[in-house]
Amino acid sequence: MQWKLVASGLALIAATYGLARFGYGLFLPRFAEAYALGPALSGAIQAGSFLSYCVTALLAARLGSRPRLVILLAGATAALGTAGVAAAPNAGVLAAAIVLAGAGAGFATPGLVSLIESNVEDRRQENAQTIVNSGTGAGLVAAGALLILVGTQWRLGWAVIAAVVILATAATLRSDRKNATAAPAPRPGRKDLLLLGWPLLAAGLAGASSAAVWTFGRTVLADGTDAELYSIGAWTVLGAFGMLGAGAGTIVQNWSLGTAWTATTALMSAATLLLAAAPGFPAVAYGAAALFGASYIAMSGVLIVWAVRVLPENGSAGTVALFIALAVGQAAGSVGLGAVLQPQDPLPAFALAAVAGLLAIGPAWLRGRTDREPSPVPNSSR
């Protein structure tokens, strides 16, 4: 395996996902204090970030023959967005910068797919993709440590994130031994989208469910106790256990796809409910954070394999479609939950999110094939 590319790709996912994209939820209490953001506006800003991911993922698919350019665009958008957050003078600029920062992840996904396909032998690609996918968890750990280090100087923290994005982008491009180019990836046709119908629905529902923790989880934890380190520590635990998602490829190969999807999605829903039920009880809150991190990243890894099993000849396009559905669900969930969330009583809103996650289980058992065998041509995405 081309370990330098895997390591740098993991770092790029950590930077664009764990820091630039999901770092918003971690820093949200700081933003809310600085710009007087309420839950509804906070959710709308996060929704914009998720939707910008969708737009850039589609654009990246059109640039599929130029993966190095796509990686460069990932770094440029994430770096400019995070630098914009650091300098934002008002809530409007902050919102625009958060949206731009989230766009970087949409470019990173397809670009890394192509680089791994070009640099890693076929039999090891599935594992390489799920290892790189776990970079989200590593980025969350780094975000928690960064927030502790910078304290109230959150602008400095986002300037550091911008620098990390630039370094990770440069390292990824340097690790591309074959100076990868690729034939334009075929886009999903009508038949492909029909085949992806159930997984698209499942991804959308799972995304809506996950939005509760990604957008408001740290806020709920911060409101549940006076100790800020407590909530930051829980977020860091979430990221640390998220790195266990690197084993998602092995999970699906050893279990059926339906069983793997059911387990990861049900555990994510349970963690969402537990987090809001007892945010001030360390054993429960930290356990819920750990469970959410591990199950969410593993769930996204299962989506990677699901797309490839359904469209083995067009796996990259399939995974982009599923991750766009995941992000659309997250955008809808952020807006919807932000509209109903009561900061002093978050349980009803988080319970709705948990129900959405449980509903996401159904499509895995309604799909038209068993998908029990490993895919012969592993292509994947974040």
Measure the N-to-C terminal CA separation of the chain; round to a whole number of Å. Answer: 19
pTM metric for this prediction: 0.83
CA 4 vs CA 43, 67, 134, 249, 377: distances in Å: 37, 17, 16, 20, 22
Give mean pLDDT, residues 59-68.
Answer: 84
The counts of H helices and E strands in the chain are 17, 0
Q: Read off the pLDDT band of 179 (50, 70, 90).
A: low
- Considering only 7-21, 56-70, 137-151, which range has the smallest mean pLDDT? 56-70
85-94 pLDDT, tens digit per residue, is: 999 999 999 9
**Distance from C-alpha of 274 to C-alpha of 292, rounded to nearest angstrom:** 10
Q: Is residue 381 pLDDT above 50, yes or no?
A: no
Q: Which tokens belong to 187?
A: 């886009």
Query: Which residues, 6+ apart, have CB-to-CB distance to 334 below 8 Å?
Result: 43, 44, 46, 47, 50, 211, 214, 215
Least confident of 40-54, 114-128, 284-298: 114-128
Looking at residue 226, what is its pLDDT? 59
Model confidence at 370: pLDDT above 70 = no
Close Cβ partners of 301 (under 8 Å, ≥ 6 residues apart)? 130, 133, 134, 245, 246, 247, 248, 249, 251, 252
Q: What is the pLDDT of residue 224?
A: 60
333-359, pLDDT tens digit by residue?
999 999 999 888 999 999 999 999 999
The domain spans of the chain are: 3-366
pLDDT of 371: 45
With respect to CATH, is domain 3-366 assigned 1.20.1250.20? Answer: yes
CB-CB contact of 312 with 198 (8 Å)? no
pLDDT tens digits for 325-339? 999 999 999 999 999
pLDDT surpassing 70 at residue 184: no
Phi and psi angles of residue 60, each rounded to the nearest 5 degrees, phi first: -65, -35
